[in-house]
Structure 1
Amino acid sequence: MKQRTYLAASLLATLAFGQPRPTLAQTGDGWQNLFDGKTLNGWKRVAGTADYKVENGAIVGTTVMNSGNTFLVTEKEYGDFQLELDFMLESNVSNSGVQTRSHFNTPGFENKVYGRQVEFDPSERAWSGGIYDEARRQWLYPLDLNPKAKNLFKLGQYNHLKIECIGNETKTWLNGTPVAYVVDPIDPTGFIGLQVHAVTTEAQAGKHVFFKNIKIKTTGLKPSPFPTDVYVVNFVPNYLTPYEKSHGWKLLFDGKTSQGWRSAKGPKFPGSGWRVNDGTMTVLSSEGKESANGGDIVTNDEFKAFDLSFEFKLTPGANSGMKYFVTLKEKSDASAIGLEYQVLDDELHPDAKLGRDGNRTLSSLYDLIKADKNPRFIHKIGEWNVGRVVVYPDNRVEHYLNGSKVLEYKRGSKEFKDLVAISKYKVWPNFGEAPSGHLLLQDHGNEVSFRSIKIKELK
């Protein structure tokens, strides 16, 4: 992102100021102003010591050294709502955001605000409009999941933000364009907050974020359409929203039965070694003996180009994998052969130190390409992680971990063939290039659970 001088940003801020524009609250359509344009009535500052004041019809937040994250929060809590506001950042050295259905100073979160935040991100990463879980789960919807939205934010200008929270769905729009869509069953109510982020250097101190034209609607709500085909982060296990269904997604695991799956070595689901209950499909431990218990399972169907998403939960030291383009034609004494999204405890399983340069670690393309993972996107052992594999019709492939893209490659390319030639797969002609194949969940002898396995076929 191009640097802008503080003088130019300040000039833009001055030009953008003015009296609040007329809002729908004045037309009787159910909207209410959360900010009167003159005072901070109805708001209170919590957590940090950053400054908030009203200037020229806008709330101006100012970064302060030696303060944690600071929030100006509504005194009232809200459940379902549509919220609209205009915001501006004058500098790209710190970020900001809007808290939704959030909370403060409860046990375990002493003097902290926590809850879903819609991010203002002026950095080169450009994740404005994405959704972050403040002080708790961190990123829920990074814009790796919707890269087309990365160019919507404008530094030094007012941007228009729309947030919709209805039921357990949160949607965001930035400057009129859909950005993020999260389905999350926690926190049905809470306050709305305006963040001034903590800063750690003098160069970051004294920078301003501006908020104005803040209005909310809480009655007569109807979900707004998302006209763009946006990926949905869905934390309700084994459930598809109507939006997902209408865009071609289907569940590969219903949360109750093994329907749609069978043994990689026979026509039926394994009679032992796998357990389906409590909304999960779990491969049981056989003390690390690969395919020595129930063995691998595969989908009945084969797939060509697709967007595949699945949740997995590891036990300490566990190893498994999600394989794709599995033909079942290759001869193997252990697990069936296919391209593999590695599922692994990198800290405790020895496989993480084998292969080349880490290409057998979590979310890697096993034995071929190492996943470039930011540690903050790796959830702890015993917690659920979200894996994702996208195979485009032109054979481009992407791996994601908890919303962050960790690698990409192209099946059949020279670079891909060169990697296969120095891997364990070199003994199988045209490995990984089949036009279609099964999906496979691996029995590597360790207990690993799966759920929310969903797929969309791409044309």
Structure 2
Amino acid sequence: MKNISKLAFYGMLLLSFASKAQWKDLFNGSDLKGWVKRNGNAEYKIENKTIIGVSHLNTPNTFLCTENLYGDFVLEVDVKVEVGLNSGIQIRSISDPAVMNGRVHGYQVEIDPALRAWSGGIYDEARNGWLYPLSVNPQGQKAFRNGQWNKYHIEAIGNSIKTWINGIPCANLLDSQTAKGLIALQVHQIKRPEQEGLTVQWRNIRIATENLQDVVWKGGEEAPEVSYLPNQLSENEIRKGWRLLWDGKTTAGWKLANGSSFPKVGWEIQDGVLKVTGSKKDSLRKGGDIETEKEFSNFELELDFKLTTGANSGLKYFVVDDPKRKEGTGLGPEFQLLDDNVHPDAKAGVNGNRTTASLYDLITAENLSEGNKEKRMNPPGKWNKLRIVSKDGHVEHWLNNLKMVEYDRHSQIFQNLVAKSKYNTYANFAQAYAGHILLQDHGDEVHFRSIKIREF
């Protein structure tokens, strides 16, 4: 009986051990077995069980890639980088000879010693740009320590990607573009001679791929969630009072602006996308602007939009129906949507105040999150995220999670701007307590999806 008990005990011990997460080293400390360099000619060398990436001029971004692909995992790595060199850790990324000649692309966890401090944010390398800049998480900006080793903890499970640096939550992303791919260590392209020879270092690289419940960290929800799940609400969004303003399938909740029913032409719903069909050369196809049936006052609104080349559209808010105006039109402050590089309206107005994300004809969009004018907008054919926050007269325009415009619609400054704009003949412009939210049909093809709102 004693022997049987011992066997049972050791069997249970082995079973318990097998069911726990097992860490696996991705780097053996002595050579680059299991890794391959792609795309560029930056140098990777090994010293003291550390991979050191060395920057070189006249070479594109260089990636040291795992030979294996990984789906759901928890990855940990220590990182140190010299100021002046940008870098990153690719996860679930792709290198396919049939796509961009094998250019590595996909999710990148940022290594950023610059003043903006976006380390731990998530950039979509060579695909969609910034998905999670740390402009949405000021606490996360404090995590990375320049000139020191930093511990990265990265969880990619299902459509959720979360990051921590030195125990501080940095990114909390929901995105379903890529479920499996390679892991890679990036040495970023440099353009200035003084950047030659700057280094980024990685050590203690390990991964777990099974029984991940044993190694996931708590507290990731402390980083604000950013979701790119089309026409879906996450559990977190539902708890916080978000609801879909468009259901992704029908015209429910929307009508012709200043009208009563949804237009029969000019708008289409296809594969979860609400589309202005475009009618520049055929006035019979133009449906007119559409608006929500309900009115809103204090709210946070999000949607994804995709322009076509040369397109012009906009989103208006605090729109009040007026029997004196014709159906299919509405008046209100406007978040401009425009192909700034092609459409002539980008050069009209004053100092670019008719470009994308601007408060149309009133305030020019600038990248307030980084303190420059670079919008980081994706080009026609790719999705961009729009966000408007309106509370007690204070309004913000956000583009791809970067703040572009901030103003008080009840202030004297705003009234002065209106007086010098095309709206100067409209009494009490933008002063309504509540109003409809409007999508503009400007005659160009534009796509919308994931329209959601929460009220304060």
Go from structure 1 to structure 2 and tell me whether the alpha carbon gap of 1:295 and 1:48 turns closer, same or farther (over 3 Å shift). Answer: closer
**2-side partners of 1:312 and 1:202: how far apart?**
39
Contact 2:152–2:163 (8 Å) recurs in 1: yes
Match of 2:13 in 1: none
Of 26-35 and 401-410, deviating more is 26-35
Name the amino acid aligned to 1:402: N
Higher deviation after alignment, 286-295 or 219-228: 286-295
Unaligned runs of 5+ in 1: 1-24
Cross-structure match for 1:385: 384
In structure 2, the CA distance between the partners of 1:230 and 1:45, relative to structure 1 (3 Å rule), is same
- One-letter code of the match for 2:330? A
Alpha-carbon contact 1:60-1:209 (below 8 Å) kept: yes
Equivalent position SS for 2:451: strand
2:167 is aligned, of 171, 176, 197, to: 176
Among 423, 426, 429, which residue is 2:424 paired with? 426
Q: CA deviation at 1:97?
A: 0.8
**Aligned match of 1:92:** 83
Deviation (angstroms), 1:416:
1.4
d(CA) in 2 for partners of 1:86, 1:330: 64
- Whole-angstrom CA distance in 2 between matches of 1:349 and 1:288: 16
Residues of 1 paired with 2:422 and 2:250: CA distance?
35
- Compared with structure 1, are the counterparts of its residues 102 and 77 closer, same or farther at alpha carbon in structure 2 (3 Å cutoff)? same
Aligned partners of 2:278 and 2:56: how far apart in 1? 52
Aligned partner of 1:354 in structure 2 is 348
- For residue 272 of structure 1, report the CA deviation from its aligned partner: 3.1
Q: Which one of 99, 102, 105 corresponds to residue 114 of structure 1? A: 105
Tell me the equivalent position of 1:6. none
Residue of structure 1 equivalent to 2:5: none
More moved, 327-336 vs 443-452: 327-336
Q: How many angstroms does 1:347 deviate by?
A: 4.1
Give the AA of the match of 1:243.
N
Q: Does 1:55 pair with 2:53? A: no
How far apart, in 2, do the equivalents of 1:291 and 1:242 lie? 43
Quote the Cα distance in structure 2 between the aligned partners of 1:451 and 1:61.
41
CA contact (8 A) 2:66 2:183 kept: yes
Q: 1:428 to 1:98 in 2, by over 3 A?
A: same
How far residue 77 of structure 1 moved from its aligned partner, in angstroms, is 1.3
Q: Residues 361-411 of structure 1: CA distance to partner in whole angstroms, max 9, x if unpaired?
A: 2221111011226567233323332222122x3533222223333222222
Question: Per the alignment, in what secondary structure is the counterpart of residue 198 of structure 1?
Answer: coil
CA distance in 2 between counterparts of 1:285 and 1:103 reads 35
| 1-structure distance, mates of 2:362, 2:72 | 47
Deviation (angstroms), 1:292: 9.1
* Alignment correspondent of 1:192: 183
Shift of 1:291: 11
The answer as to whether partners of 1:288 and 1:446 remain within 8 angstroms in 2 is no
Counterpart Cα distance in 2 of 1:354 and 1:292: 27
TM-score by length of 2: 0.86
- Could you tell me which residue of structure 2 aligns to residue 36 of structure 1? 28
Q: Report the alpha carbon displacement of residue 415 of structure 1 after superposing the two structures with TM.
A: 1.9
Secondary structure in structure 2 of the residue aligned to 1:110: helix
> Which aligned pairs between 1:286-305 and structure 2 lie closer than 5 A?
286-287=279-280, 293-305=286-298
Q: 1:315 to 1:209 in 2, by over 3 A?
A: closer
Count the aligned residue pairs.
431
Distance 1:290 1:387 in 2: 28
Paired with 2:393 and 2:145, the residues of 1 have a C-alpha distance of: 34
**Contact 1:291–1:445 under 8 Å retained in 2:** no
CA RMSD of aligned residues (A): 2.8
Change (3 A) 1:330 1:205: farther
Say which of 246, 260, 264 aligns to 2:253.
260
Secondary structure, counterpart of 1:113 in structure 2: coil
Tell me how far apart the structure 1 counterparts of residues 60 and 277 of structure 2 sit (CA, whole Å).
45
Q: How does 1:202-281 map to 2 (within 5 A)?
A: 202-222=193-213, 226-228=220-222, 230-234=224-228, 236-281=229-274
In the TM superposition, residue 163 of structure 1 has moved relative to its aligned partner by 1.4
Following the alignment from structure 2 to structure 1, what is the Cα–Cα distance between the partners of residues 211 and 414?
A: 54
Structure 1 position 360, deviation (Å): 1.5
The alpha-carbon distance between structure 1 residues 206 and 318, as it changes in their structure 2 partners (threshold 3 A), is closer
1:70 deviation in Å?
Answer: 2.1
CA distance in 1, matches of 2:158, 2:374: 31
1:320 aligns with 2:313: yes
What whole-Å deviation, never above 9, does each CA across 1:215-270 have from its counterpart, x for those lacking one?
A: 21111234755332614140x32122223223322211111101111222233222
SS in 1 for 2:163: strand
Which residue, 331, 334, 341 being the options, matches 1:340? 334
- Report the CA distance shift for 1:166/1:201 in structure 2 as closer, same or farther (over 3 A): same
Cα deviations by residue, 1:100-134 (Å, 9 ceiling, x for unpaired): 01233522332532221111111122221111122
Match among 49, 52, 56 for residue 64 of structure 1? 56
- Counterpart of 1:76 (choices 68, 83, 106) is 68
**Post-superposition offset of 1:439:** 0.8
In 2, the alpha carbon distance for the partners of 1:144 and 1:341 equals 20
Which residues of 2 match residues 411-450 of structure 1 at below 5 A?
411-450=409-448
Query: Displacement of 1:271 after TM fit?
Result: 3.1
Q: State how far apart, in whole Å, the 2-side matches of 1:51 and 1:354 are.
A: 48
How far has the Cα of 1:340 moved from its partner?
0.6
Tell me if structure 2 keeps the 8 A contact 1:330–1:337. no
Deviation at 1:342, TM superposition (A): 0.9
Once structures 1 and 2 are overlaid, which stretch shifts more, 398-407 or 217-226? 217-226
Give deviations 1:42-98, integer Å, cap 9, x for gaps: 333333333323333432222233333222222221111111122111x21111110
CA distance 1:97–1:347, change in 2 (3 Å): closer
Corresponding residue for 1:9?
none
Change (3 A) 1:347 1:28: closer
- Cα–Cα, structure 1 residues 366 and 288, in superposed 2: closer, same or farther, change >3 Å? farther
Query: In structure 1, the residue corresponding to 2:418 is in which secondary structure?
Result: helix
Moved more, 289-298 or 67-76: 289-298
Distance of aligned partners of 1:382 and 1:99 in 2 relative to their CA distance in 1, 3 Å threshold? closer
